[in-house]
Structure 1
Amino acid sequence: MAVDRLLINLDLNLLVTLDALLRERNVTRAAELLGSSQPTVSTALARLRRYFDDELLHRIGNRYELTPLAVQLAARTPPAIEGVRRVFDVRMEFDPATIEREFTIVTSDYAASVLGPIVARLVAERAPGIRLRLQQTTPEVVNHAQETLRTVDGFLLPHGILTDFPYTDLFGDRWVCIVAQDNPVVGDTITMAQLEQAPWVVLFHRPTAFAPAAQQLRMLGVEPRVEVVVDGFLQMPFLVAGTERVALLQEHLARRIGPAAGVRVVECPFEAVPLAEAFWWHPMYRTDVAHTWLRGILAEAGRELIAERVPELG
């Protein structure tokens, strides 16, 4: 493999300075953040401007704004720094009690709500220097999973969405229907005809982005009459409450927020294929000892979630 001449001549210290400048948009504050002197940071800014042939920061009145190129760099710099940190943080010995690191996990609001509190508690108890960043998933992120998984630690997603990536199974869940507590049409049970006639709250509702259970309904010949489209599961119960709407929700989540939202659970009148939630990650983390520890924590949190006793909803 040929040697990358660009990297040989590049001072990686400039990457850290660039990140500080783009965050603070001010040489003095960037110097304070770095614990450096203002002249040193000014010199580094001059070198960066020559390298990129761009001002990066330009003055507007009494403040500095990012140039269009700097806006692009601001999105790329933090993942690049994290990548460099991971290269030099690989050690044969790993002590979670002393390590300092941030793990970024792309997740739905559902998984963040039911699994996130357990994971956060386990991490805080065993690795106080580790910070969790839970990043909301979107159809665009999932559609570009190959690129995204190089810049984050992994996805919390059910089977059936990603393929061809390593994964760690975490927990299972099943789909239930939710209706308003005072729904005048639906009693203790709901029929397929009622599902077809009722107004729906659905997730995303795009050709390549949908809840798997809703897709199962379509395969049974029922096309939901969509009245409200949302981009997260947590919103659904509150948009069902006080209406004749219906939605499909994961049971673990429905049990937690149903009473507060004013909805009740009824069994699906069809055999909805259950969810199998997993943590998906890039093969480059296979021998990363810290990442291996994270996967173990997630698996333990999944087992604890399965063992939880949550009150039934009527």
Structure 2
Amino acid sequence: MTERPLRNLDLNLLPTLDALLRERNVTRASEQLGLSQPAVSAALARLRRHFGDELLHRTGNQYELTPLAQQLRGATEAALSGVQRVFDASPAFDPASSDRTFRLMMSDYATAVLGEQLVRRLADIAPGVRLQLNQTEPTFVDNAAETLRSVDGMVLPHGFLKDIPVVDLYEDTWVCVVSPDNERVGDELTMDDVATLPWVMLWNLPTAFAPAARQLNLLGVEPLVEITVDSFLTVPFLIAGTRRIAVLQTRLAHRLAATAGVRLLPCPWDAIPLKEAFWWHPSHRRDPAHQWLRKLLQEVGEDLMSAT
């Protein structure tokens, strides 16, 4: 497809394209945009001519995205986010009067531990500021340089990313999680238990894992992974009443232990502490709003550490 000069493009079509790709339906897209159905239909016709592609094609009683449309989904979302940041930019930032939306990517663990304190601070000092919190996934981490172009930042431990601006937030330790009725485990968990009992593991991929569990490989122990999950919050509930074990961040484990009905034990190896950090794209460096966000996250992290 021949590249067209930006001046020849109608950027008003971008929100419509985004709505159509999300809703896969002209009527629902028009409702989301607050436009008439004929107006959205006309925009779709223009988009089809521009891309030389149907974008939406009927399959039975519903519409499906064409292969090109599927490729456009992520790019369209990133473009809209970038445009929003451009027009949100200002030479100064007043959190007390701002209605800016910050989009952050973080695990459910970080959301539970850091997010709780963060939203409380926002309610006090920036009541109009909004957060959009999205779960991190391996594909986002694998393509972090590109992912960070479309969000304000990613909360992730050290050990996954490099050569990306970062602000350290707080540290956490690890504990092992077992069921109280697991007769195999005594007052202490042993390395033999670790090597022979079945595990619940997060993702278990090169760029998505609990670092303390991956550390076992360096000790010559290959955990017997029985269940793989994509959520830290579910781990204790998959341990209760079974012979399985897992590692979990100490701050989160203590919150969930009583509810899930599990027992927490020290790791029988020298588990490396977790260093949680905020990673962000260099384009945000001089943005006053983003500078404020980074400072706020640091303060929240310091509060967590002082409360330990």
**TM value normalised by structure 2:** 0.89
Alignment deviations for residues 156-198 of structure 1 (CA, whole Å, 9 cap, x no partner): 1111111111111111001111111222232332222222232
Are 1:270 and 2:269 counterparts? yes
In structure 2, do the counterparts of structure 1 residues 24 and 184 end up closer, same or farther at CA, with 3 Å as the change threshold?
closer
Give, in angstroms, the shift of residue 60 of structure 1.
Answer: 5.9
In structure 2, give the amino acid aligned to 1:288: D
User: What is the match of residue 174 of structure 1?
Assistant: 173
* Match runs of 1:227-266 below 5 Å: 227-266=226-265
**% identity of equivalent residues:** 60
| Cα-to-partner distance string for 1:71-97 (whole Å, 9 max, x where unaligned) | 333332222111012122211121223
**1:63-74 equivalence runs, <5 A:** 64-74=63-73
Contact 1:123 1:297 (C-alpha < 8 Å) held by counterparts: no
Q: Give the structure 2 partner of residue 281 of structure 1.
A: 280
Over aligned residue pairs, what C-alpha RMSD do you find? Answer: 2.4
Q: Aligned with 2:272: secondary structure?
A: coil
Specify whether residues 60 and 94 from structure 1 end up closer, same or farther in structure 2 by C-alpha distance, changes over 3 A only.
same
Provide TM-score, normalisation by structure 1. Answer: 0.87
Give the corresponding residue for 1:186: 185
Q: Which moves more between the two structures, 195-204 or 23-32?
A: 23-32
Task: Measure how far apart 1:145 and its partner are.
Answer: 1.1
Q: Could you say which residue in structure 1 is the equivalent of 2:156? A: 157
State the SS of the aligned residue for 2:233: coil
Q: Would you say the 8 A contact 1:171–1:276 is kept in 2?
A: yes
3-state secondary structure, aligned to 1:168: strand
SS of 2:277 mapped into structure 1? strand
Partner in structure 2 of residue 220 of structure 1: 219
Instruction: Tell me the secondary structure at the aligned position of residue 115 of structure 1.
Output: helix
Counterparts of 2:138 and 2:35, CA distance in 1:
41
Q: Distance in 1 between matches of 2:106 and 2:262?
A: 24
For residues 96-133 of structure 1, give each alpha carbon's deviation from its aligned partner in whole angstroms, at most 9, with x where no partner exists.
Answer: 23333332222122111111111122223333333322
Q: Is the 8 A contact 1:94 1:289 kept in 2?
A: yes
Q: Report how many residues are paired.
A: 306
CA distance in 1, matches of 2:152, 2:227: 33
Q: Name the counterpart of 1:97.
A: 96
Distance 1:96 1:17 in 2: 30
